[in-house]
Amino acid sequence: MSSARVVLVLALASVANASAQTAPPEPPPIWDAQLGASFVGTGGNSDTTTVGADFGAHRRWPVWQVEGTASAVRSTDRGTRTAERYLGSFRSVRRLSSILGLSVGERAERDRLAGMDFRSITDVGLEWALIRRTQWTLDGLTSLAVNHERPVEGAGRNDPIGVLQARTKVTFGPAADTTGRFAVYPDFKETSAYRAEAEVTAQAAMTSRLALKVGYLWRFSNAPTPGFVKSDNTATASVVLRWRAAPVAPTP
């Protein structure tokens, strides 16, 4: 191939790549939901059971959007519980502009084996659509919140805190994507009681309804309940059943 043809091919490839990068993202569906489940059991020399479940749903209107998530993990070893964790969250966002939205959220968890009988965070703040590309999105959240904690031992607390969060999603095509979330919770009443979380998931479709999902969640508490360590992590693998509605028409 002559040098002129090589240059032409490279130029066409650059134009195609640029067009793909600047193409508007596909409108999101009116609603979507998914339900995942996992199970591991052993018998004989060992007798362990681990079950997990997770749920996620979104509903979108031209101005409003609501989303909810829930997950549960329970593990036993010869009848003794070695892990039991429940997490749930709900968030409503009203779009104020193409970048900015008013956000109200609630997050609750229970993990007695990590020292927390119950924790809830109620926050109000702003959500930021920082990046909107065909294959990559990045959202930020800045909120003021109230953190209510009831540990398994010791006195509870109701502290004013902040919520600083970044969420990203990378789409590899119609069949696979990965998401990431990192959040920091500074405590304005007791500065040493700050917490942080990081979560990564990857999902690949097997059919139009079924997908495989793997995830990793890391949680850090700088002032844990006495007798418990500062960090916890959970790795999961599950089969997911998905539902998805038609895309929303772009807003003029």
In this prediction, residue 8 carries a pLDDT of: 42
Cβ atoms of 88 and 72 within 8 Å: the answer is no
Q: Judging by beta carbons within 10 Å of its beta carbon (0-12, 13-18, 19+), is residue 200 exposed, middle or buried?
A: middle
The Cα–Cα gap between 10 and 54 comes to 46
In this prediction, residue 93 carries a pLDDT of: 98
Cβ atoms of 168 and 201 within 8 Å: the answer is no
In this prediction, residue 173 carries a pLDDT of: 85
In this prediction, residue 47 carries a pLDDT of: 87
In this prediction, residue 45 carries a pLDDT of: 80
Give the domains, in start order, of the chain with CATH numbers. Answer: 30-244 (2.40.160.40)
In this prediction, residue 17 carries a pLDDT of: 52
Q: What is the mean pLDDT of each run of 10 residues along the chain (252 residues)?
A: 47 47 62 94 86 96 96 92 94 97 98 95 98 95 97 93 98 92 97 97 95 96 93 94 75 49
Within 10 Å of residue 218's Cβ, how many Cβ atoms?
A: 15
In this prediction, residue 32 carries a pLDDT of: 95
Which residues 6+ apart lie within 8 Å of 89 measured at CB? 68, 69, 70, 105, 106, 107, 108
